[in-house]
Amino acid sequence: MWPASVEELVSAQLELGAQPAAPWHPGPGVLAVGACVVVFERGLAGPGARGDRGWAAAAVLHGSRVTSQAVVDCTAADAYAPGLLALREGPCLEAAVRALAVRPDVLLVDASGRDHPRRAGMALHLGAVLDLPTVGVTHRPLEAHGVWPEDRRGACEPLHVEGEQVGAWVRTRVGTRPLAVHPAWRTDLETAVNVVLAAAGPHRTPEPFRHARRLARTARAGARA
C-alpha cells in the first residue's frame, strides 16, 4: 500500500532514506532496461488535483528490442507537491510496471532518488515497493546543485545537497542539455550513470523512456478520440 496522506508519506520516506539496501551491480551481457511514465489529461492547471485521470506506461528494452510494454488507466491520488510526487504518481507507476510480462533488470524512473529532503524520492520509493533496482532520470535536480559538465558525451559533474553527493549531471548527447541522474533503490552513482548512457544510445533521453512516453501519450490521445 502506498501512503494515503502527506504525514504517512513523510514517515515512509524518512524510513526509506535511512534504510540500507544491498547494492545491485549488473552482470555481463545486455541489460533489460525498463522505464515508466505517467501522463495526465491535457489542460490541467497548476499542480493538478486528486482524481485527475492519467495513463501510466512502462516498457522494457533489451538493447534496441522492445520485449514488453504495458499501459494502464489510472487516477491521481493527490495534487503535485515538491518532495511528495509519490503521493500523486506512485500507485499509477507501480500498476504499469506490474502489468509488464517481462521484469526488467533495472528500472528508469522520471523522479529523484537521494536528491530529496528525506533522501527518498519517488525513484527510490518505487524501487523499494517493486523490489527492483531503480535509477532516477530528470531534466533538473530537486534540491541538489552542481555545474554542468563539458559538452562531451559521457561527461559528468557531481550534484550535492548539503555537501553530500546525491547524483550527477550527465551529458548523454553533445549539444544538448545534460540530464540529472539519481542513484535510487540499490544502485550507486557509477551504476546509475552507466545504465543511463547505455540506454540513451544516440539520443539525449534513454530509449526506454522514449518508448514508454509514446505509449502513454498514444493511450491518452485514443481516449480523447
| pLDDT tens column, 64-99 | 999 999 999 999 999 999 999 999 999 999 999 999
Yes or no: say if 55 and 45 are a contact pair by the CB < 8 Å rule.
no
Q: What is the rounded average pLDDT for all residues in the chain?
A: 95
Task: Kindly provide the b/e burial profile for residues 14-34, where b requires at least 16 CB atoms within 10 angstroms of the residue's own CB.
Answer: eebbeeeeeebebeeeebbbb
Q: Total structural domains in the chain?
A: 1
- Which residues does 161 contact at the CB level (< 8 Å), separation at least 6? 114, 115, 143, 144, 145
CATH of the domain at 164: 3.30.2170.10
- C-alpha–C-alpha distance, residues 163 and 216, integer Å: 37
| pLDDT tens column, 14-58 | 999 998 889 999 988 899 999 999 999 998 878 999 999 999 999
In a domain, 14, yes or no: no
In a domain, 207, yes or no: yes
Give residue 210's domain range.
30-224
The CB density around residue 211, as the number of other CB atoms within 10 Å, is: 19
Tell me the pLDDT band of 187, cut-offs 50, 70 and 90. Answer: very high
In a domain, 6, yes or no: no
- C-alpha–C-alpha distance, residues 129 and 71, integer Å: 19
Amino acid 225: pLDDT:
62
Question: Could you tell me what percent of the chain has a pLDDT over 90?
Answer: 92
In a domain, 24, yes or no: no
In a domain, 37, yes or no: yes
In a domain, 85, yes or no: yes
